[in-house]
Amino acid sequence: MTDFRTDGAAALDWAARYLERVDELPVLAQVKPGELTARLPQSPPEQAEPFADVLRDLDELLVPALTNWQHPRFFAYFAVTASEPGILAELLAATLNQVAILWRASPASTELELRVVDWVRQLLGLPEGWHGHIEDTASTSTLAALIAARHVTGRNVVVCSEHAHSSVEKDARMLGMELRKAPADEELRLRVPDDLSDVAAVVATVGTTSFASVDPVRELAEAAHAAGAWLHVDAAYAGPSWICEEERWSQDGVELADSLVVNPHKWLLVPMDCSLLWTARPDEFREAFSLTPEYLRTADDAYALADYGPALGRRFRSLKLWAVLRCYGAEGLRAILREHVRLAELFASWVEESPDWELVAPQRFSLVVFRRNGSDEHNERLLERVNASGEIFISHTRLGGRYVLRLAIGNARTTEADVRRAWEVLNR
Amino acid sequence: MTDFRTDGAAALDWAARYLERVDELPVLAQVKPGELTARLPQSPPEQAEPFADVLRDLDELLVPALTNWQHPRFFAYFAVTASEPGILAELLAATLNQVAILWRASPASTELELRVVDWVRQLLGLPEGWHGHIEDTASTSTLAALIAARHVTGRNVVVCSEHAHSSVEKDARMLGMELRKAPADEELRLRVPDDLSDVAAVVATVGTTSFASVDPVRELAEAAHAAGAWLHVDAAYAGPSWICEEERWSQDGVELADSLVVNPHKWLLVPMDCSLLWTARPDEFREAFSLTPEYLRTADDAYALADYGPALGRRFRSLKLWAVLRCYGAEGLRAILREHVRLAELFASWVEESPDWELVAPQRFSLVVFRRNGSDEHNERLLERVNASGEIFISHTRLGGRYVLRLAIGNARTTEADVRRAWEVLNR
């Protein structure tokens, strides 16, 4: 068994060294499927092994199979950051091992969660009185919102944009709800559907995964409410940008939402997992989930956060959000997000100025969607080649059938030199 | 901002001191609802604060509001342990910040997860060929199982025991499925229902939350399959005991299950959250969830674990399970669980030998269900008084309308002296 102080010092040193040298590792794992599996023992050990052996195998077996999300040249999907205060808070959360199934099981976790999620509400400029809590991912937050919407409306149809995140389709499918994907306009914004009379929920996206486009939330909210439907806003990626006044244009109409998801683990420096789910209708939302069985009933379950989502057991996730908000301050977070947006705009300007490349969607937030002149196959091979180099990692999507490339900036370590390097690699 | 090495050393020291002195703290938080909230700042800081301030507030504000799940005299709900290797693995997982949305996004997380969950399968003596992965909680694991069951059977009814965990009812409600709670026999075992012809899923429990009773899994599996229904087994709490041969009596028929949930964060020394979900029908299970949208499609998604449950983003949870299995070894884990069972049997023997107390359910695994002679009010006041003392924390349930007490042993720090102390406090 472990000597916690000695092994802890070794683990901390390992973590520090990883973060110090992560930019020397390939961004995308340079292994083939099954390669790690073949190197891992087929059966568990019968006798205890020292923790040092775990660290050794972390280096020898696991590191080569990591795609390094902490790398400053990770530009795929949405780039994220597990900042240092957030990492250390996870150490503390695991140490305390709070299982906040109800208030008395962890007053600290429950009350801190409500308070710090409200801090974020204030930072984002969202309405007072909204009830917010933490889920693991936006998939789960949206799942909970759809459950509430079906409960409140008694209807079974979900409407979202053709560019909405795949989780909306997956959530609807899991719930046995019918999904209607509605077409978007030339700016990739969901067109307001004519008839919402049988619709339980309209899902509007602020910052779509493929293009960071922004649906017309106000019009959608008004149409949804006129038809008796619920409006859920997915701002998982772009929502954190509302800490900056200049990005609040994309918040127009969000104050009319019935529920909203924003992910601090995406663009607010919090390690996975931390997805915030607010609702403007907490009583109805809670009705959809609450059971309060006898063996959990106590005199003090005014704060039962499990009554707002699928899981009963809840990790002490608010600790990392609290640590990040305090150790950066609103000012520090704004500075980092502004730099990401500046770098994305800079990259987009290079694309626009070059005769070999084109921007294929309006540049929004910290995402650039672009392609090289030439065929889809050419762009696909280009992507594979640059990712195989290990120097940068970008991803792709399709627009109007065409294969296009995405460069997303979101790691706190990313500098202008890293973005310049990406441009060089792409042009090599 | 943080100096990771300096602040990390402080955080580690804080964690070590917490674990060293946790037995001196009250087990149950001695605060009133809202007391912590009133002490937390209403708004987030504009400027960055040092990490040391977070640690100071952890001591001054949060510790008094903790219910100490790591305390050796935590006997409520199901007692759990975040062991040292598991805690340190969470530090590493947060550092690496893998977001395993698909194989290439983290080959290490994906392949290690499949391998270590299979290690647990071997330790528990479960059938070869089952597909296992990690969810956050048993609520989510059972939710996923019910989704698969509905997908496969096209039916909408769930059957479980009146003593099944509340999550089954909550899951069915979230999915819009009809729940039929069936009566149990005098040994608190679900009676096999006569007609399952319209049933999607039967949920059998091995180790119910209230009484640790064991449903007749074999008979339920045979009846379910004869009627074309899915059999899901909830062994969230008791499943880990199958690492000990002498507890395998409770596994009879589990090999016939279509899906099974076992929680290493309950009784296998892994910090929250780590719930294992196996299925014997992986292809059909996957069909219920898989979408594979364009922007995630790659050539190598043979290992897409997000296709077996609700969430897309996945934390590197296998790291802590791997660390715990290695640093204790099967042998070490067996020794700890056996000691827990021995202590529960010892406590049960004191109850049986005393004229003032009675055992109200057969003693199973590491749980004792009992009451003091006298009225419900008497037992309720007794529970409130012992919990308010801070010396021990136990919980309650109801059996046949009567208020009864539960003492659950599951913390690795718990010794015979702690159990003896509980008995003294209860008799004081």
Q: What is the ipTM of this complex?
A: 0.97
- B178-182: strand order across its sheet: B131-135, B275-279, B259-262, B230-234, B199-205, B157-161, B178-182
Q: Read off the pLDDT of each residue in B324-335 and give the average, rounded to a whole number.
A: 98
C-alpha A76/C-alpha A112 separation (Å) is 33
Residue from A316, A273, A185 nearest B62 by CA = A316
C-alpha B306/C-alpha B313 separation (Å) is 7
Angle at which helices A318-353 and A107-124 cross, to 10°: 30
Q: Which residue has the higher pLDDT, B389 or B297?
A: B389
The partner residue sitting opposite A97, judged by closest CB among B82, B169, B296, is B82
Query: Is B390 in CB contact (< 8 Å) with chain A?
Result: no
In-domain check, residue B202: yes
Chain B closest-CA separation from residue A354 CA (Å): 25
Residues B68-80 pLDDT 10s: 999 999 999 999 9
Give yes or no: residues A134 and A96 share one domain: yes
The partner residue sitting opposite A147, judged by closest CB among B174, B294, B300, is B174
Residues B217-232 pLDDT 10s: 999 999 999 999 999 9
**A295 contacts in B (CB within 8 Å)?**
166, 209-210, 395-398, 406
C-alpha A366/C-alpha A369 separation (Å) is 10
Give yes or no: residues A51 and A157 share one domain: no
In-domain check, residue B114: yes
HSE (side-chain half, CA atoms, 13 Å) at B154: 0
Q: Residue A295: its pLDDT value, please?
A: 59
C-alpha B315/C-alpha A272 separation (Å) is 6
Low-confidence ranges of chain A (pLDDT < 70): 1-2, 292-302
Last residue in a domain, options A324, A354, A379: A324
- Which residue reads 């994305």 in tokens? A344
Does the pLDDT at position B63 exceed 90?
Answer: yes
Token pair recorded at residue A353: 């100025």
**B407 contacts in A (CB within 8 Å)?**
none
Q: Which residue has the higher pLDDT, B172 or B304?
A: B172
Residues B128-139 pLDDT 10s: 999 999 999 999
C-alpha A234/C-alpha A308 separation (Å) is 17
Last residue in a domain, options A324, A350, A378: A324
Domain that holds residue A232: 88-324
- A131-135: strand order across its sheet: A131-135, A275-279, A259-262, A230-234, A199-205, A157-161, A178-182
- A402-408: strand order across its sheet: A357-359, A367-372, A402-408, A395-399
HSE (side-chain half, CA atoms, 13 Å) at A91: 33
In-domain check, residue B179: yes
Q: Read off the pLDDT of each residue in B332-359 and give the average, rounded to a whole number.
A: 98
Distances (CA, A) of A246 to A241, A365, B408: 9, 10, 54
In-domain check, residue A183: yes
Tell me the residues of chain B between 154 and 193 that have a Cβ less than 8 Å away from chain A. Answer: 166-167, 169-171, 173-176
Q: Read off the pLDDT of each residue in B324-353 and give the average, rounded to a whole number.
A: 98
Give yes or no: residues B52 and B126 share one domain: no
In-domain check, residue A151: yes
**Chain-chain contact of A91 with B91 (C-beta, under 8 angstroms):** yes
Distances (CA, A) of A340 to A265, A267, A344, A366: 16, 10, 6, 6
In-domain check, residue B331: no
Token pair recorded at residue B3: 């100096």
Chain B closest-CA separation from residue A221 CA (Å): 24
| Number of compact structural domains in chain B | 2
Give yes or no: residues B53 and B166 share one domain: no
- Which residue reads 């074309």 in tokens? B228
Q: Residue B2: its pLDDT value, please?
A: 61
Instruction: Tell me the β-bridge partners of B132.
Output: B278
**A82 contacts in B (CB within 8 Å)?**
94-97
What b/e readout covers B218-229, taking b as 16+ CB neighbours within 10 angstroms?
Answer: ebbbebbeebeb
Give yes or no: residues A269 and A311 share one domain: yes
Query: Is A259 in CB contact (< 8 Å) with chain B?
Result: no
Distances (CA, A) of A289 to A85, A292, A310, B272: 33, 10, 7, 22
Give yes or no: residues B96 and B221 share one domain: yes
Give yes or no: residues B192 and B44 share one domain: no
> Beta-carbon neighbour count of residue A329 at 10 Å?
18
A350 three-class SS: helix
Q: Read off the pLDDT of each residue in B76-104 and give the average, rounded to a whole number.
A: 97
In-domain check, residue A48: yes
Distances (CA, A) of B314 to A26, A209, A337, A412, B386: 21, 17, 24, 21, 40
Last residue in a domain, options A277, A305, A324: A324
Q: Residue A296: its pLDDT value, please?
A: 59
Q: Which secondary structure element, helix H or strand E, spans residue A232, and what is its range?
A: strand A230-234
Give yes or no: residues A18 and A95 share one domain: no
Q: What is the CATH number of the domain that holds B14?
A: 1.20.1340.10
Give yes or no: residues A99 and A183 share one domain: yes
Residue from A170, A209, A171 nearest A188 by CA = A209
pTM over 0.95: yes
Give yes or no: residues B37 and B167 share one domain: no
How sure is the predictor about B303, in pLDDT bands with cuts at 50, 70 and 90?
confident
Give yes or no: residues A150 and A297 share one domain: yes
How far from the centroid of its chain's Cα atoms is residue B87's Cα?
A: 17
Do you find a cis peptide bond into A195, omega within 30 degrees of 0?
no
If phi over 0 gives left and psi between -120 and 50 gives alpha, with beta otherwise, what is residue B168? alpha
Q: Residue B304: its pLDDT value, please?
A: 86
Query: Is B322 in CB contact (< 8 Å) with chain A?
Result: yes
In-domain check, residue B340: no
C-alpha B141/C-alpha B118 separation (Å) is 17
C-alpha A369/C-alpha A348 separation (Å) is 8
**B136 contacts in A (CB within 8 Å)?**
136, 311, 313, 315
Give yes or no: residues B108 and B145 share one domain: yes
> Beta-carbon neighbour count of residue A217 at 10 Å?
26
Q: Residue A368: its pLDDT value, please?
A: 98
Chain A CA closest to residue B78: A99
A130 three-class SS: coil
C-alpha A161/C-alpha A176 separation (Å) is 19
Q: Residue A323: its pLDDT value, please?
A: 98
Distances (CA, A) of B343 to B72, B409, B412: 12, 8, 12
Task: Tell me how many helices (H) and strands (E) chain A has.
Answer: 13, 11
> Beta-carbon neighbour count of residue A335 at 10 Å?
12
Q: What is the CATH number of the domain that holds A248?
A: 3.40.640.10
Does the pLDDT at position B204 exceed 90?
Answer: yes
